[in-house]
Each structure stands twice: as structure tokens, then as C-alpha cells.
Amino acid sequence: MDFDKCREIKKDKIITVQENKRIYSIQNQSRVEISKIIVDGCLIEDNKEKCDFLFEINSISEVHYVELKGADIQKAYNQIVATVTACKDEHKIFSSKRGFIVASRVPKAGPQVQVLKKKMLKVCSTQLFVATNRHTEKIS
């Protein structure tokens, strides 16, 4: 995997990715350097499951895996887990890993999302966050 080929260094106050009306944003008030990496179609070009984007935030030793999805939360979960696994060697230096699913529809605080959050933490030491249509993450 060629991370540099798919990496774009950003220092904008707001960094946004979107797909089919699903939006994930990072508020970067301190304008720290953030690597935006296109995963689907660049970093991982085959038919394996993978998420859409990832963001490496070296200043806080954190990586964000982002999947912008319709309503299939389970598939989005699988895509993030597959990407975390594929990038494990490259991302072992990061102390915090976070997965973000921004979906068109999310089950109302039901057990499905809670089960997936616990499972992702156990399976790949990654916190999972699920939002409907839009999510903004603040970096200080």
C-alpha cells in the first residue's frame, strides 16, 4: 500500500469529506497538520472491503477511519475493521484509533450499534462512533 500516493496534507480550519449527502468534518482550530488519505480506490484498489477515508493526526497520535454509508451499519463496520487490519503495521505508532460511520439511517440507540462498538474495541482496539448524515470531530 502506497500511503504517500494517496495522502494529502491539510492544515485547514475545517477538513471535510462527503459522499451521497453523508458528511464527515474535522474542526482543526489549531491548524495542525492532518493527513487525509483516500482509501477506497487509491490506498486499497482491489475488491476487498475497505472504508472510504482515513485521517492521520500526528500531533495527538490519533488515526480516524471514516466510512460514509447508506443504512447498512454492519457492512460499514466490516469495512472499517478490514481497513484497520490492513493498516495495522503502518498505524501501530498511533496511540488512539477511532472509527466513524456516517450513515443515512442509524438504528435508534438499539443494541446493534452498542454491540458493534464493543466488538470493534475488542477486535481491533478502535473506538467506534456512529452518526446520521453528518459528523464533526473537534481537534485541539
Amino acid at 104: S
C-alpha span between 120 and 74 (Å, rounded) = 11
Q: What is the mean pLDDT of residues 125-139?
A: 95
For residue 112, the model assigns a pLDDT of 86
Torsion of the alpha carbons at 84, 86, 1 and 41, rounded to the nearest 10: -70
Q: What angle do the packed helices 73-86 and 111-124 form, to 10 degrees?
A: 10
pLDDT band for position 96 (50/70/90)?
very high
Mean pLDDT of 1-25: 96
- Is it the case that residue 69 has pLDDT exceeding 90? yes
What are the strands of the beta sheet with 127-132, ordered from one edge? 7-10, 34-38, 53-57, 62-69, 96-103, 127-132
pLDDT digits (tens, 9 = 90+) for 34-64: 999 999 999 998 899 999 999 999 999 999 9
Contact, 32 vs 55, CB < 8 A?
Answer: no
Residue with cell 482550530: 29
CA distance 50 to 113: 19
DSSP H or E segment with residue 25:
strand 22-28
Give the pTM: 0.95
pLDDT at 78 over 70: yes
Q: Is 72 helix (H, G, I), strand (E, B) or coil?
A: coil
| E strand or H helix at 137 | strand 134-139
Q: What is the pLDDT of residue 108?
A: 62
